[in-house]
Amino acid sequence: MQSGRNVAILGVDVAKKLFGEDLKGAENSSIRVGNARYRVIGVLKSKGSSGFMSADNVVLTTVANTRRVFIRPNASYNIGVNVNDIKQIDGNGRGYGPYAHYPQTGAGRGK
C-alpha cells in the first residue's frame, strides 16, 4: 500500500455488496471507483459503526494514489488512526494534533 498503484482494501459491507455474502472471489478482483480500476488486495474484518461513520462501508487506498487518480488541487485529507492501546500513539499516551482523541476527556483539544 506504500506505492501509488491502483490497489484497494474493502470494508466488509462494500465487499458483500459487490461479491455476495461469502465474499468468494473478492481478493485479486477488479473494481471501479469513479473512472479508475482498482485491484482488491484485501477485505477488512467487520468493525461496526460509530456515530461518525461505518468502518465497514469504506474503500481504502493510499494518499499517493488518491492524489494521482482524483486530481483536486485544493483537497485536504483526513487520516484516522486506530490503536488498541492509546500508549501506542506516542510516549506520553496522548494523540497528536488538535483533533486527537483523549480517552480521559473525550474528543477535542488536548488539556
Dist CA 36 CA 43 (whole Å): 19
Helices (H), the chain: 12-19, 63-69
Q: Is residue 14 in a domain?
A: yes
With a CB cutoff of 8 Å and minimum separation 6, the contacts of 94 are 86, 100, 102, 110
Pairwise pLDDT comparison (64 vs 9), residue with the higher score: 9
Q: Is residue 56 in a domain?
A: yes
**If you average pLDDT over residues 19-27, what whole number do you get?**
89
Pairwise pLDDT comparison (103 vs 29), residue with the higher score: 29
Q: What is the pLDDT of residue 50?
A: 65
Q: Is residue 79 in a domain?
A: no
Dist CA 60 CA 10 (whole Å): 6
Domain hosting residue 25, numbered range: 7-69
Kindly tell me if the per-residue pLDDT of 101 is higher than 70.
no
**If you average pLDDT over residues 22-34, what whole number do you get?**
89
Q: Is residue 76 in a domain?
A: no
Q: State pTM to two decimals.
A: 0.64
Structurally, how many domains does the chain consist of? 1
